[in-house]
């Protein structure tokens, strides 16, 4: 697939083609990382005739250089820290805790905005496909994998349209399968590989989720 992708929809179609072995299985569940992963996961879930839901994860950005991840937090109290970044930049425990607190608050806000009173899906025993629009360091996806793993799925697949090679390497040892059609070098950031990389709003995310839930309700074991 030549890069860049025109938009997330085109990327989703490429990813869905590679995930066809999972199409029509009653035990498959697609989980999106908001916000950018939601439109891709929406298209993939429809192509696979699988239910769609969320896995909420937040990057822990280095204070003053928030684009650089020093770790990530996820639902279920998961926190992963990048010791190399923390030690290399001499980031204090106090700074780490301040960022962690703020990002966990944002996790709770997003869960309320996106899910409302809707219960989380059953993950135990299911084939779970985790989807984002790309991976730079892989920190947020690793946190997502850890959060899902503690809920005892049968199988975990990470599927992204584009990623840094080192991020894919880090994930291979933590998942059952990684699907990624493009691992360009040098990577230069996720947005570099999309012609249209417009940011999603909370309202757009919520709208896609509502459409997906009407089309294919997330039911236990289905």
CATH number at residue 141: 3.40.50.2020
The predicted structure's pLDDT at residue 120? 84
Secondary structure element (H or E) that encloses residue 215, with its range: helix 202-215
CB 161 within 8 A of CB 14: yes
Mean pLDDT of the chain: 92
Measured distance CA(5)–CA(180) in Å, rounded: 13
Residue % of the chain over a pLDDT of 90 = 76
Measured distance CA(128)–CA(131) in Å, rounded: 10
Q: Does residue 221 carry a pLDDT above 80?
A: no
Q: Tally the domains of the chain.
A: 1
The predicted model gives 46-69 an average pLDDT of: 91
Q: Does residue 2 carry a pLDDT above 80?
A: no
pLDDT band at 3 (very low <50, low <70, confident <90, very high): confident
The predicted structure's pLDDT at residue 115? 86
In a domain, 71, yes or no: no
In a domain, 85, yes or no: no
Q: Does residue 126 carry a pLDDT above 60?
A: yes
In a domain, 123, yes or no: yes
Which of the residue ranges 7-11, 37-41, 47-51, 77-81 would you say has the lowest mean pLDDT?
77-81
Its domain, for residue 167, covers 8-56+115-215
In a domain, 173, yes or no: yes
In a domain, 78, yes or no: no
Residue % of the chain over a pLDDT of 70 = 96
The predicted model gives 132-144 an average pLDDT of: 92
The predicted structure's pLDDT at residue 220? 43
């Amino acid at each position: 697939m030549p890069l860049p992708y025109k938009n997330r929809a085109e990327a989703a179609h490429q990813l869905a083609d590679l995930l066809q072995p999972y199409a029509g299985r009653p035990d498959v569940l697609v989980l999106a990382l908001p916000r950018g992963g939601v439109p891709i996961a929406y298209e993939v879930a429809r192509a696979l005739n699988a239910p769609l839901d969320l896995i909420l994860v937040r990057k822990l950005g280095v204070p003053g250089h928030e684009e650089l991840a020093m770790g990530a937090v996820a639902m279920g109290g998961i926190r992963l820290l990048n010791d190399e970044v923390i030690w290399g930049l001499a980031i204090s425990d106090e700074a780490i805790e301040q960022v962690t607190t703020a990002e966990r608050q944002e996790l709770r806000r997003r869960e309320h905005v996106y899910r409302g009173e809707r219960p989380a899906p059953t993950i135990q025993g299911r084939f779970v496909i985790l989807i984002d629009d790309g991976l730079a360091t892989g920190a947020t996806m690793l946190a997502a994998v850890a959060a899902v793993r503690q809920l005892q799925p049968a199988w975990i697949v990470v599927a992204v349209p584009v990623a840094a090679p080192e991020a894919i390497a880090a994930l291979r040892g933590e998942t059952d399968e990684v699907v990624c059609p493009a691992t360009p070098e040098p990577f230069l950031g996720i947005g570099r590989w999309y012609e249209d990389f417009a940011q999603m709003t909370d309202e757009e995310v919520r709208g896609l989720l509502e459409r997906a839930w009407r089309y294919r309700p997330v039911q236990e074991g289905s």
